[in-house]
Chains A and B, each alone.
With several copies, the nearest count.
Chain A
């Protein structure tokens, strides 16, 4: 917003939030739609906007062989879900847990160990937009539920 209130939005630049990578994943989400081979499923729901997510994962021997997402939501949500599936696919459950922690730190504090972030780095801008953190987090919290073997629907509040 022009003449932005000083509260804590000092460095806002909307293209930090909507980076090209994000717009691309929004247009062409990877690993999108149901997964036939899934042996685990979990749902997520963002009550602020009503958007919903379904995650499908094929986990064998503590490794994420395949993972898909389905649902509808904003660009941040879609891109974050899409990137999450790309990152989680092929990882061990333990590695995915570490990824979750990294993501969580990134969007809540805005900073994280830059080296290890890789593709995740595009989510850094979200931190400046508290109202959008939930959009970015939904897929990750739902992944966490799958990793933990919980069946509850994730709601981001």
Chain B
């Protein structure tokens, strides 16, 4: 049963709203706020069992190892992965995608092979493939998007030449939720692998990597109530097992001689060096927190706020909302006619409202829309309708200043 969230109660878990009671934070698509349950989990590591993992005999080292591996299990469960070993901790979604581009892409792609991405990707899912294409002689192709912010004619973009489809689950500009399941089926039929950039979907909806049928799945901790400095790459175990490592160092080896080395089992093969222990543990706590609230409830709450936002901004003359995808998350990009987004955002800030102004690391979309930048308001479980009312009122004020 979907239940109503109580953002007012939820806000009490977030110290930032104590420090800044009037803060209207509408930039969760960039980074989310952090509940005390997460900072407590992080603190608890430093205060009670601060030790390196995996190679310690002593008690606090065992605790650290157990807590770190328990976090891996929590994340595996959170995304519906069967095997905890298929979850690799990285420093960010960006690193997760680059890991695949290096450890899989550079070994498995060659001239004539196609990497298929979309026009709505974040730079983190564009630049690694531009670099990979250049190194391997492969071709980078784009699924076009419509003015509504939806994929266009993607079925016909997949061919026998396609070796990898790398696509965002949810657009950070339009909020579009892409049809990953259908796309993965079609890609697999053509013999291609599928990487999903889930940086914007995992925090805001219930996901299941097995149902989606993807091969790789990347996301960040800091956008889902977790700490900065931790991300996740999920990969199918047989793929990960076949792949060569990415970074070399401690943890990822089985044996090292002066001449050569052999690799550890997954996931450790891909976690060279001392891992981000405290951050992984914090991310596990974030998953716990979100589970307690229920991802269906988070999604429903954001859908409600989304409609409310679209109505509120639609009421204001001279506001252009970009895109109108049928299935979308709680992200709204807009411009105020005749007012540069950075000026608008500056005035909103003066009213305590944090929205993002810029290209949102998605310059190809900006080029498509013919703007240098937009404003973007993105909601999360701690936002209320009153936040949106304040956005509405403040935008009215901005317009009056510039007219």
Give A155 Cβ to nearest chain B Cβ, in Å. Answer: 7
Contact between B66 and A7, CB atoms less than 8 A apart = yes
Interface size on B, residues (CB 8 A): 45
Are B49 and A5 in contact (CB-based, < 8 A)?
yes
Interface contact A1-B349, CB-CB below 8 Å: yes
Q: Let me know if B60 and A130 touch, CB within 8 A.
A: no
A38 and B21 alpha carbons, distance in the complex (Å): 54
Residue contact B65 to A157, C-beta cutoff 8 Å: no
What 1/0 flags go to B32-70 for Cβ under 8 Å of A?
000000000000000011000011111111110111000
Given A9-B59, A157-B265, do A2 and B340 touch, yes or no (CB 8 Å)?
no
A47 to B255, CA, bound (A): 7
Within A98-157, the residues touching B (CB, 8 Å) are: 129-132, 135, 155, 157
Q: A18 and B401 in contact (CB under 8 A), knowing A2-B22, A50-B363?
A: yes
Residues on the B chain within 8 Å of A129, using CB: 62, 346
Chain A residues numbered 66-102 whose CB sits less than 8 Å from any CB in chain B: 72-77
Known A47-B264, A131-B62: A3·B350 in contact at CB below 8 Å: no
* A77 cross-chain contacts in B, Cβ below 8 A: 340
Q: Which of B48, B67, B358 contacts A48 (CB 8 A)?
A: B358
Query: Taking the complex as formed, is B247 at the interface, i.e. its CB lies under 8 A from any CB of chain A?
Result: no
A14 within 8 A of B: yes
A4–B349 Cα distance when bound, in Å, is 10
Q: Which residues of B have CB within 8 Å of A135?
A: 342
The answer on a CB contact under 8 Å between A130 and B62 is yes
In the bound complex, what is the Cα–Cα distance between A120 and B62 (angstroms)? 25
Q: How far is the CA of A77 from the CA of B265 in the complex (A)?
A: 22
Determine the chain B residues whose CB is within 8 A of the CB of A5 once the complex forms.
19-20, 48-49, 59-60, 63
Report the minimal beta-carbon distance from B366 to chain A, rounded to whole angstroms.
Answer: 7
Q: Is A23 an interface residue (CB 8 A)?
A: yes
Nearest CB in chain A to that of B371: its residue: A50
A72, closest chain B residue (CB)? B372
Q: Does the CB pair A1–B346 fall under 8 Å?
A: no
Chain B stretch 329-387: residues in CB contact (< 8 A) with chain A:
339-340, 342-343, 346-347, 349-352, 354, 357-359, 363, 366, 372-373
Chain B residues closer than 8 Å to A51, beta-carbon distance: 372-373
Q: Which of A1-39 contact B (CB under 8 A)?
A: 1-5, 7-9, 12, 14, 17-18, 23, 26
> How far is it, in angstroms, between the C-alpha of A31 and the C-alpha of B349 when the chains are bound?
31
**Which of B58, B60, B254, B342 has the largest number of chain A CB atoms within 10 A?**
B342
Restricting to B194-216, which residues have a CB under 8 Å from any CB of A? none
Q: How far is the CB of B384 from chain A (nearest CB, A)?
A: 16
Assess the B23–A3 pair: CB atoms within 8 A: yes
Determine whether the beta carbon of A50 is less than 8 Å from that of B48: no
Chain A residues contacting B347 (CB-CB under 8 Å) are 14, 18
Closest 6 CB pairs of A and B: A2-B22, A74-B340, A14-B350, A2-B352, A50-B372, A1-B59
* Interfacial residues, chain A to chain B (CB-CB below 8 A): 1-5, 7-9, 12, 14, 17-18, 23, 26, 45, 47-51, 72-77, 129-132, 135, 155, 157
Further contacts, 9 of them, CB under 8 A, given A1-B20, A48-B54, A49-B358: A1-B58, A5-B60, A7-B62, A14-B346, A17-B346, A50-B358, A50-B366, A75-B340, A77-B340
7 contacts between A and B (CB under 8 A): A1-B60, A3-B19, A5-B63, A7-B49, A12-B59, A50-B359, A157-B268
